[in-house]
Amino acid sequence: MTGGVRLPTIIREPRFAFPIAETMATIEEDLSQIEKDIRTLKIEYEQYFGGGRKRPPSDTQWRVESLMKRYGDRGAEMNYAQRFRYTNLSQTFAKYCEIWRKKLKEREEGSHRHFGAAAKAIEAERAKAEAVHAASSPDGSAFSMNFSDPEREGGKIKELYRKLVEARTATGEKGGTPNFEEFSKFVRGKTQQLKSKKAASQVEYTVSIEGGRVKLKARVSS
């Protein structure tokens, strides 16, 4: 006391030489978080497979896997009820992971199949274009064959027929192609007719493509 005046007492807060530890999440809280994250992950995968997400929810899945692994290694710290709950969550998560794995595999294989089909279609179109160009080009690449006696030239008739079918396949023409017997009969009759009419020794048959259509022409060959 000084001069009869009482000074106020100053109370100082205690100082700690170390920080106060934050409260750690309890096992029950972590298990509840795992359960919540599994539900969230299921929704996010449904959005991904439905086209609502561009990428699979890898971050969410990693978080769930990390928590699951942590408590898989700390089973002794849990009581019976907590272990039972953890086991159920673990089985549910494993079941979902297997479903998602299969769907991801099907999605990937489906993309490869789609790509393969597209590549085959492009290759078929390219081959078709090349065949059309070869048969219709002005450099004499159209297929020609001479006949003098078709009755004895069965092999040549087969080759001419094969070229005709190939050309029609290349242009996409589906109807009107005769069977081989009809074609063979036509070649024999037409050859005999032209040889008699023109007093020629040979008849030339040409398979070509004109205006996108297959043409079979026969003319007397000198």
170, part of any domain: yes
**Residue at 125 is within a domain:** no
Q: Is 78 helix (H, G, I), strand (E, B) or coil?
A: coil
Number of domains in the chain: 2
Same domain, 69 and 148: no
Asked, for residue 121, whether it belongs to a domain, the answer is no
Residue 35 shares a structural domain with residue 111: yes
- What residue type is 111 in one-letter code? S
| Residue 126: inside a domain | no
Domain that holds residue 185: 142-221
Indicate whether 150 and 99 sit together in one domain. no
Domain closes at, from 98, 116, 134: 116
* pLDDT tens-digit profile, the chain (222 residues): 445 556 555 555 555 444 444 445 688 888 888 899 999 999 999 988 888 888 888 888 898 888 888 877 777 788 888 888 888 898 999 999 999 899 888 888 775 454 555 556 655 565 555 554 444 444 445 788 889 888 889 999 999 998 888 888 877 776 677 888 999 999 999 888 888 877 778 889 998 888 778 888 888 876
Report the 10 Å Cβ neighbour count for 132.
Answer: 17
pTM score, whole prediction: 0.40
